[in-house]
Structure 1
Amino acid sequence: MKNYSRLFVSLLIMLSFISISSLAINANSSLNLKDGNFQIVVSGHEVEPVKLAVATLSKDFEKVMHYKPEISQRADNAKGIDIVVVNESTDDLLIDKLLLRSLDGFESHRIYCDVLKRRIYIHGKDMRGTIYALYTFSEQFLEVPALWYFSSWEPQYKKQVMISSDFDYYQKSPQVRYRAWFPNDTDLFEPWRKLSKENDELWLETMLRLKLNTVELEATVTYPDYKLNSRAALLRKYGLILTSHHHVACNNNLMNWEGYWRTVRKMEPPKLLLSDEESLREFWQYSIETVCRDKQENLWQISFRGINDQPFWAAFSDAPETDKERAEVINRMIRIQLDMIKEATGEKDPFVRMTFYDELSDLLAKDYLQPPTGENMLWTFVAGRRDHYPYDDLVAFDTKKQVKLGYYMNLQFTSTGAHLAPAEGPWKMEFNYRYVNTRGPLTFSVVNAGNLREFVMEMAANARMMWDMQLYDTDSFLLDFCTQYFGKKHAAKVAKLYHDYYYAYWQQKPSAFPNMERQFIFQDLRYSRVFDQIGKRFQDFSPNPLYDIGFERIPGRTFRIDGNNQVDSLIAGMERAVFRFGEVSRRCEDLLKQLPCQDQRFFRDNLAAPCHYMEALSRSLYHFVLAYKNTDERVENLDAAIRQLEEARDTLYATQEGVFATWYTGDSFNGKFNIPAKLKLLYKLRKEI
């Protein structure tokens, strides 16, 4: 009898144990994450950028589930479910490799679960693959979008998160190895970054959530102790690759020439002379050694340009006069830099890029420039300056050359492009990159998006395309984007509004590149230039008052207004733009009222407000040019121009909420557009009448 009692008790204990161990497994054979029943497991030997992403995932759980899971270095089933973070490039994997599913090459990643072992695997081939897997898990199961910081996202509480036993998310290696952002002309972004640690850094987290991997910066070499600057240090913190701007060679440029000689060498700087090659070599050697000592993952850039964004012959007094001779100088200098990089790194064929910007593009198109070739040499072509289309050097490129290709595209532009409102659009971006990919294997991409906030949708499209160009389609991407940020019910309508917004821009000249739409469009900084240039000669009428800005190598490129009467073309173009932007703006306002409250702010900030801004800005320029042409109605038109520009300003400033409460502060202090300065001009002209 005692034996039967003991057997019965033993069976009860066993059943109890089975019941406890199966608490996290539901009837559908899933793992069910609840408050307190799971932990995140990561090796103590893991690299710091992965640890940072793990900590961020833990915070994401806290936002969504109101529970912050423990981060442990040991898998312990007794505590419930283990979310095991696996980086194949880390020595200590914590678990048997036989338990892992296969991956592709660099940056590939996977998420899957083992219900019996009560484990979820967040698995990357290398450091960034692991980081991408962590953020993919957050997006898939916690519904934290990549643009959460820029989209005013509000967490929706989840009591539990279920992962099915058959869930297996797999992402193979990206097609484009280096996928970069270039924050340039940051008149709004820089003052905002200084306000908080989050503003300063979270754009880098955003890049990783979008699965980008490279940041292009200006010169990062400092003196005198062989260190890169704090901007480069942030990239290392997040696990991102550093590359350099097109007037930067070996992570430094000639703007820092005097600093090297005075700070490091304690001497008066030698003059910039082509004949003094020894001094140039010494300058580059310090820069190369700085990068190597800093152990920052770096995509080298070779270049020979001037002190700023200008040709070298503007800085060297002994520069030759002809294009062919100038190209020969560049050919010699970039080969010296490449040889020095190879010697310092010990690599026979390191990844190195050269960017063909402005004068370099022209010299290459003439076949005077002969850049180095090689298996890992990246020839980086640049979209046509001021307007964005494949330029002559890319069209003429000999596809038999042993090089890989890169492409640099402005989603904004310093002096004549989009700035306070997006203008190029994802369709134009896709056309450009598809063309490049027909000329050779695309290995590097960088988009210049300056202040970032205005261009996050376009940058997200670029990130998606660069991972897998074969699967990417802009219309499909945009529908996915709108579904994620504005809900499935309204996604198709919002996607159509995005399309119609971009196509509302005045196309001041017919497209010339085969099969390309919207090759030439009138972005808001072109509006700004018109205000400035006509304002300077407001009492002196001319049908063609506009002129090219400085450093314009191709006549007529600044505005590209078709026809022989700029004033009449502007009036007719603005009339069309007002109608088109106005129609889309009204549809935006109607839809805004139908969206859920949590989606309204991002819709307003990223689409409705820019559209209303461009409508009001177009009305203002329309009346301003009419006032310039027609003296009889000058007062009425100037008054209307002022009212409409004030409305354009107020539309943008109304989006200043939350973390973006001071976003337009930089526009008032030497901003690239500078709405206050334009209003001051109009007030002055009105007062003089």
Structure 2
Amino acid sequence: MRKLLYLLLLFPLGIQGHVFKVRHAVVNYDEKESYQVVRAIGDLKHDIATVTGSVGKGTSQIIVGTYGCKTISKLIAKGIINEQDLKGKWESYVITITNEKKPRLVIAGSDKRGTIYGIYDVSQRIGVSPWYWWADVPVKKNPEAAVECTYYASGEPTVKYRGIFINDEDWGLKPWATSNFEKELGDIGPKTYGKVCELLLRLKANMLAPAMHSCTGAFYSHPESKVVCDSFGIIITTSHCEPLLLNNAATSEWEESRDGDWNYKTNSQTILKKWDDRLAEASQYENIYTTAMRGVHDAGLRGNLPLEERVPLIAQVIKDQRQLLERHIGKKATEIPQIFVPYKETMDIYEHGLKVPDDITLVWVDDNYGYMKRVSNPEEQQRPGGAGVYYHISYLGAPHDYLWIYSTPPVLMYEELKKAYDHGADRYWLLNVGDIKPMELGIQTFMDMAWNINHFDINNVNQHQANMLGTIFGKGNYQEILDTYLRLAWSRKPEFMGWEYEWDDQAHTGLKDTEFSFIHYSEAQQRLADYQCLSDQVEKMSDGSAAFFELLQFPIQGAYQMNRKFLMAQLNHKLLAQGRKAEANWAAKQMEAAYDSIEALNHRYNELLDGKWRGMMALAPAFCALFQNKPDVTYTAGAGEQAVDITPKAYTLDGCQAIDLSKYISKSSDAKLVKGIGYDWQSIQLGEATYEVQQIDADSIDVRFDVVPFWPIYKGKSNRIAVSVDGGMPQIFENKFKEYGRSWKDQVMRNGKAGHMRFAIDKRKQQHQITFKALDPQQIVQKIIIDWGGLKTSYLGPR
């Protein structure tokens, strides 16, 4: 008997493997199951009916249950489920098919969300995409839909808390909800949040930071919203500027004429009363609480205090907040999920000596452009509260917003999130997604990484989004298309093509001609040709579905027309200066056509599916951006029009050589080729890499290169690279910058920082070796040019 039990533990009955057809299946669950799981079961029944065309009324059974319920306990006792896959696990689940005369499909979770994730996993296996509603991915009819499974145990997610922050909703989600989806409320409210929460669960996320701009009613101003989110089992969290769930950007929450100054030094009792009232309302639900405080909305701390006074003030704020939490929740503060987000000036306060209680999770931030400002140092990695990340794929702020379309490379996202994870950030990942649409590809990648970062590496992450599109639309050259699209956006996002800076000095404000040259190396012509080729490809590939347009066609064709708009305006200016008036008129007309095409694309998006997304898509003007406008062009009356040949011209490199980064001699095993990032879509992560250059008829060479503008990993580290020629004395390049400084602004706008060094060489040598060596971790070189007298001034140099 003991031997039989041992064999059952090793080879439970559910491991035999079967195919379970879901048509007509009845879903059974214990009567004591949580209401969140019961609600998800309703979705499963609906999904099965949608796919198979029938409702459950047959004899086959789907068993759904959470660890501890009677049914799951019996299945564990029979050896159908391994108890170790559920007991004490966080948000884990098992899917198996019993080895019985009438097999049953079993979905068992370690806790309520584990069970819910198992439910939606089954929905996805039978053909219901997590994006069936938000991206209109079609659900194909299949009466024979089945789950094929031996025994699947999900394991725990690699990141405990995973979610999104709806932000800068002024031009998308807010007008869409107000005038379309939730017009009876006239705001983003419970109906919208219901759809958001369902999406999050289907993506295996578990938390939401609700929309919080002043244009939107505060989350708690619509009481049903928190109830709806709770009914899905979604945790509410908040941004860096919403302490203890209070949104001071909303006048219903904080209004200066009524409440006084948002200044803890002078008005702490009023602020404490606001927090006390909010916790009385919300603490019965599952939340993660932001501690400390900033100014109103996204501004710095009020009072213009020196750093020496800010540190003790914020320490007192955190102490008072924790006392409130203990009183309302009835637990020790060390048992209540809390975060501290050192965003913008709060980072300075932290680095100046603020002692954050060790149980509070430190949530490290990127610089709003995808580059982590720092990660946990060795001492911080020992904190029991751990660490997390707050990351952006959409942003409103200086030096320029990018709210319109998705353009963050998966490789950049992976590099920065994996770096943070490897330094202890496994507790909390929050993604700023703007309006959710059209950031679907980036959201999917982020959530899949958060669920299991170990499924990814530097070699496969770049294929993730192409694989997603292939699963939805079938065979296609999605990888090639995405590689080209993201490469072009890497050197300049579509929103940045006006070459303007926001919230800046007069010299950098206003639309300007780009730095892409129509003269040197056909940079501008090649850019236009690449985009047009992409646009033509997706036009031909389109299956006519709303999903294809939303996920692929719209961002590519929108990016093409935005580039065409500004480059044609630039060409108009250049031709006019040369006295070529007829050709300048033609370029101006091309600009007008591009502008009209953008308008048409936005309109088409909004009118999809009889206006389902009406109000969602707009060229968000932010508060001072101008890229949505027509750039100035000049028409010459009576000059007529004459087309210009903008076909890229072939060129030869005389006096310089662009290094093929895929061909190098590595002297260190940690130097590696990284595809999916960089101006030519491949880069070298150092280590040490040596490049061979053939004989050069010169006494000296210039080594020109571009690095990816990462921040030092933490205080005490830097961004240094040593460059040497033929084993001689190395020169040191150090990329030092300060957030919101001129150098940093330039770097994040073009995703690169240029370096330039001159070396004497012996021109008699048949071969030269150029060596790059990282002196600090996480250094990536994305372009190298060896120049001995031929390089023309250009934005990116020869391709």
TM-score, scaled relative to structure 2 = 0.66
Q: Which residue in the other structure is 2:319 paired with?
A: 335
Match of 2:281 among 272, 290, 305: 290
Alignment pair present for 1:616 and 2:561: yes
Q: Which residue in the other structure is 2:393 paired with?
A: 411
Q: Which residue in the other structure is 1:18 paired with?
A: none
Distance 1:271 1:150, change over 3 A: closer
Q: Pairwise mapping of residues 222-621 of structure 1 onto structure 2 (< 5 A)?
A: 229-255=223-249, 269-273=259-263, 274-292=265-283, 295-313=284-302, 316=303, 319-320=304-305, 322-348=306-332, 349=334, 350-364=336-350, 367-375=351-359, 377-385=360-368, 387-392=369-374, 398-415=380-397, 416-473=400-457, 474-487=461-474, 489-490=475-476, 493-505=477-489, 507=491, 522-527=492-497, 530=500, 545-547=507-509, 567=513, 569=515, 576=523, 579-580=526-527, 582-583=529-530, 585-587=532-534, 589-590=536-537, 593=540, 597=543, 601-621=546-566
Q: Which residue in the other structure is 2:688 paired with?
A: none
2: CA distance between counterparts of 1:206 and 1:400? 34
Q: Which residue in the other structure is 1:175 paired with?
A: 158
Cα contact 2:51–2:145 (8 A) shared by 1: no
Give the drift of 1:504. Answer: 1.0
Greater shift after overlay, 103-112 or 252-261? 252-261
Q: Pairwise mapping of residues 127-166 of structure 1 onto structure 2 (< 5 A)?
A: 127-140=112-125, 142-163=126-147
Cα deviation digits, residues 152-197 of structure 1 (max 9, x gap): 3333222223445x62221011010010111111221223334337
Cα contact 1:261–1:268 (8 A) shared by 2: yes
Alignment pair present for 1:119 and 2:109: no
Give the drift of 1:61. Answer: 1.2
Distance 1:260 1:615, change over 3 A: closer
Q: Which amino acid aligns with 1:481?
A: M
Distance 1:655 1:582, change over 3 A: farther
Q: Which amino acid aligns with 2:21?
A: L
Structure 2 counterpart SS, 1:503: helix
2: CA distance between counterparts of 1:687 and 1:44? 79
Match of 1:201 among 194, 198, 203: 194
Give the drift of 1:239. Answer: 1.2
Give the drift of 1:459. Answer: 0.7
Structure 2 counterpart SS, 1:63: helix
Q: Which residue in the other structure is 1:98 paired with?
A: 77
Distance 1:524 1:635, change over 3 A: same
Distance 1:286 1:675, change over 3 A: closer
Cα deviation digits, residues 100-158 of structure 1 (max 9, x gap): 43224011001111141532111111111111111111111x11112122343333222
Cα deviation digits, residues 456-505 of structure 1 (max 9, x gap): 11111111111111222413533531331122x33xx2122112211112
Q: Which residue in the other structure is 2:21 paired with?
A: 33
2: CA distance between counterparts of 1:246 and 1:288? 17
Cα contact 1:52–1:238 (8 A) shared by 2: yes
Question: Size of the alignment, in residue pairs?
Answer: 591
Cα contact 2:237–2:288 (8 A) shared by 1: yes
Cα contact 1:581–1:611 (8 A) shared by 2: no
Cα contact 2:288–2:337 (8 A) shared by 1: yes
2: CA distance between counterparts of 1:111 and 1:662? 35
Distance 1:437 1:588, change over 3 A: same
Cα contact 1:404–1:442 (8 A) shared by 2: yes
Give the drift of 1:404. Answer: 1.0
Cα contact 1:531–1:678 (8 A) shared by 2: no
Distance 1:407 1:574, change over 3 A: farther
Q: Which residue in the other structure is 1:513 paired with?
A: none
Cα deviation digits, residues 582-604 of structure 1 (max 9, x gap): 42552463365457x37x54333
Give the drift of 1:215. Answer: 0.5
Q: Which amino acid aligns with 2:598?
A: A
Give the drift of 1:334. Answer: 2.2
Alignment pair present for 1:644 and 2:594: yes
Unpaired stretches in structure 2, ≥5 consecutive residues: 1-15, 183-190, 639-799
Structure 2 counterpart SS, 1:179: strand
Could you say which structure has the higher helix fraction?
1
Structure 2 counterpart SS, 1:146: coil
Q: Pairwise mapping of residues 65-80 of structure 1 onto structure 2 (< 5 A)?
A: 65-69=52-56, 80=59
Distance 1:109 1:256, change over 3 A: same
Distance 1:218 1:146, change over 3 A: closer
Cα contact 1:236–1:296 (8 A) shared by 2: yes
Alignment pair present for 1:216 and 2:209: yes
Greater shift after overlay, 167-176 or 633-642? 633-642
2: CA distance between counterparts of 1:158 and 1:325? 66
Give the drift of 1:298. Answer: 0.3
Structure 2 counterpart SS, 1:182: strand
1: CA distance between counterparts of 2:624 and 2:151? 50
Cα contact 2:203–2:448 (8 A) shared by 1: yes
2: CA distance between counterparts of 1:80 and 1:109? 25
Cα deviation digits, residues 299-339 of structure 1 (max 9, x gap): 111131112210122xx4xx42x233223322321232123
Greater shift after overlay, 656-665 or 300-309? 656-665
Structure 1 counterpart SS, 2:453: coil
2: CA distance between counterparts of 1:339 and 1:283? 14
Alignment pair present for 1:53 and 2:40: yes
Give the drift of 1:419. Answer: 2.0
Distance 1:41 1:577, change over 3 A: farther
Alignment pair present for 1:88 and 2:80: no
RMSD: 4.0
TM-score, scaled relative to structure 1 = 0.76
Determine what percentage of the aligned residue pairs are the same residue.
16
Cα contact 1:418–1:424 (8 A) shared by 2: no
Cα contact 2:516–2:524 (8 A) shared by 1: no
Structure 1 counterpart SS, 2:106: strand
Q: Which amino acid aligns with 1:407?
A: V
Give the drift of 1:655. Answer: 3.7
Structure 1 counterpart SS, 2:275: helix
Give the drift of 1:531. Answer: 9.7
Distance 1:275 1:389, change over 3 A: same
